[in-house]
Amino acid sequence: QGKLVESGGGSVQAGGSLRLSCAASGDIVMVDPMAWYRQAPGKQRELVAQVTDGGNTNYADSVKGRFTISRDNAKNTVYLQMDGLLPDDTAVYFCYAGAKHWPTYKDVEIWGQGTLVTVSS
């Protein structure tokens, strides 16, 4: 019905930057919200940042001031600019989108496959 494809993960040293991208496609409309989650080994998956169709954002306290989420509604793409990366940011980052299937308008939740971010001290 729909899919999300992430890119931009990699390995950096503490203090470095990465930019993650996630593109939504398929038989979906009203893609709102879009978000980034992350999961480290042995840890619960946590919400990192979220952006609505109207551009409203929210962030986990741990990343405020360092990460910026944005989206291109025309392309159904969400980005996560990650600055000042810390070792504790090491995790698999997953893109998420809430949407409606076209043409049934059934609510769907879509997850990307994940992209690994590794931050070395």
CA–CA distance, 59 with 64 (Å, rounded to integer): 6
Tens-digit pLDDT profile for residues 28-59 = 998 889 999 999 999 999 999 999 988 999 99
pLDDT band at 7 (very low <50, low <70, confident <90, very high): very high
| Res. 74: pLDDT tops 90 | no
In angstroms, how far is the first alpha carbon of the chain from the final one? Answer: 41
pLDDT at residue 21 in the model: 98
CA 71 to chain centre: 10
CA 78 to chain centre: 7
- Are residues 58 and 49 in contact, defined by beta-carbon separation less than 8 angstroms? yes
| Res. 64: pLDDT tops 90 | yes
- Are residues 61 and 118 in contact, defined by beta-carbon separation less than 8 angstroms? no
Tens-digit pLDDT profile for residues 98-117 = 999 999 999 999 999 999 99
pLDDT at residue 1 in the model: 78
Q: Please state whether beta strands 115-120 and 10-13 pair in parallel, antiparallel, or not at all (unpaired).
A: parallel
CA–CA distance, 117 with 114 (Å, rounded to integer): 10
Q: Exposed, middle or buried, 37 (CB in 10 Å: 0-12/13-18/19+)?
A: buried
Distances (CA, A) of 104 to 3, 26, 34, 73: 17, 13, 20, 21
